[in-house]
Amino acid sequence: MTTSSPAPARTRVAIIGAGPAGLLLGHLLGRHGIDAVILESRDRAYVEQRQRAGILEQGTVDVLRAAGAAERMDREGLRHDGIELRFDGRSHRIDLPALTGGRSVMVYAQTEVVKDLIALRSEAGAPLLFEAEVLAVEGADTTAPRVRYRHQGREHTLACDIVAACDGFHGIGRRSLPAAHVFERTYPFSWLGVLADVPPSCDELIYAHHPRGFALHSMRSSTVSRLYLQVDPEDGLDTWSDARIWDELATRFALDGWELTPGPITDRSITPMRSFVSEPMRHGRLFLAGDAAHIVPPTGAKGLNLAAADVTLLAAALLRWYRTGDETGLDAYSDEALERVWRAEYFSSLMTSMLHTDPTADPFAQRLQLAQLRHTVDSAAASTSLAENYAGLPLPCIDELT
């Protein structure tokens, strides 16, 4: 149950953050009898309405199905077997199953994944405390860590075996590591993202490169479109009227015989583009997962999927440890997770540089960018590499959690 009562004084795993990473980790552990308490600083309404990713790669879909958390996703989600690259007035389809041995992606919003996992936790009667502000992680380098938090005006201490920080870039988890190596890159553009109450004008996602900037046509359902425009980082929302947004989208998506259908815009935001990795992802009994450890530009659709991969790996390692005392999975967690993280960082950076218009690029660099796009769609090897990374790498530890 989601509860307003104080959490137990002791649990095996204390999870900070009720985003998809924290909720999925709690669910995976709970299915195998490993109790966990989830602490979330925001209220439930905020968590369930927070707009983020909407593309689930094959491994994430497989994990949700194996965990019994995919019933609504399989009913309402939209399976996609390809993506479209659009540039130079032409369209090029990347056939994901044909190039990856059958893998595909699922369009299913992060908000819906979160709602499903919260509902499952509530049905299980497992503790999930909203508006619980974590104040400190103590004793991470001991065998008895503790989490201090404030809930309903009172401070509490939660003793545990393990702390899993799934609390995002600004959370206390990453700040609790005594020493970390930070790698980051900021891109010279941002994304203006909008939700619109209009059926998608495409059957599969369109990634468009245009001299005026990148554009992406995605969707949340058969009746709701999700669209993005590359914009200047200094732009404010007040400079982008509905009419200007639709006109610019139509310009960047322009293709003979194809038409973009506008509709009422219900939500809009501007997001900076950056890459970030913090190493290591573990200190003693404190483990980081998801945005607490890494951020990718959204061009590669990897953020939510990396978080799911992190906690799947961590859940399998914890299960082995609790069952047999074998700590090898826990000891290897950071290195194994980071190997996948850097692969995703590479792919996301590649997609970002290939598709966006660099305002500082000279004509030579612009021609090189077009040459890279043409090579990607003309070369079977290059198309296969894109498809394999987009559909996602397999998760070998799923079988341990079924």
Check: CB of residue 303 under 8 Å from CB of residue 207.
no
Give the separation between CA 367 and CA 117, rounded to whole angstroms: 46
From the list 80, 151, 156, 210, the catalytic residue is 80
Give the separation between CA 30 and CA 24, rounded to whole angstroms: 10
Report the relative pairing of strands 55-57 and 82-87 from DSSP bridges: unpaired
From the list 149, 207, 228, 333, the catalytic residue is 207
From the list 149, 187, 228, 390, the catalytic residue is 390
Check: CB of residue 86 under 8 Å from CB of residue 214.
no
Check: CB of residue 193 under 8 Å from CB of residue 227.
yes
Note every long-range contact of 203-207, with CB atoms under 8 Å and residues 24 or more positions apart, other chains counting. 204/80, 204/81, 204/82, 204/83, 204/84, 204/93, 205/55, 205/80, 205/83, 205/84, 205/107, 206/83, 206/84, 206/86, 206/253, 207/83, 207/84, 207/85, 207/86, 207/299, 207/351, 207/355
Phi/psi-derived region of residue 168, left when phi > 0, alpha when psi is between -120 and 50, beta in every other case: left
Q: Does 272 qualify as catalytic in the annotation?
A: no
Q: Using only C-alpha atoms, what is the Rg of the chain?
A: 21
Considering only CA atoms, which of 82, 173, 108 is closest in space to residue 136?
Answer: 173
Contacts of 153 (CB under 8 A, 6+ apart): none
Q: Does 115 qualify as catalytic in the annotation?
A: no
Q: Does 188 qualify as catalytic in the annotation?
A: no
Q: Does 390 qualify as catalytic in the annotation?
A: yes
Catalytic residues: 80, 207, 298, 302, 390
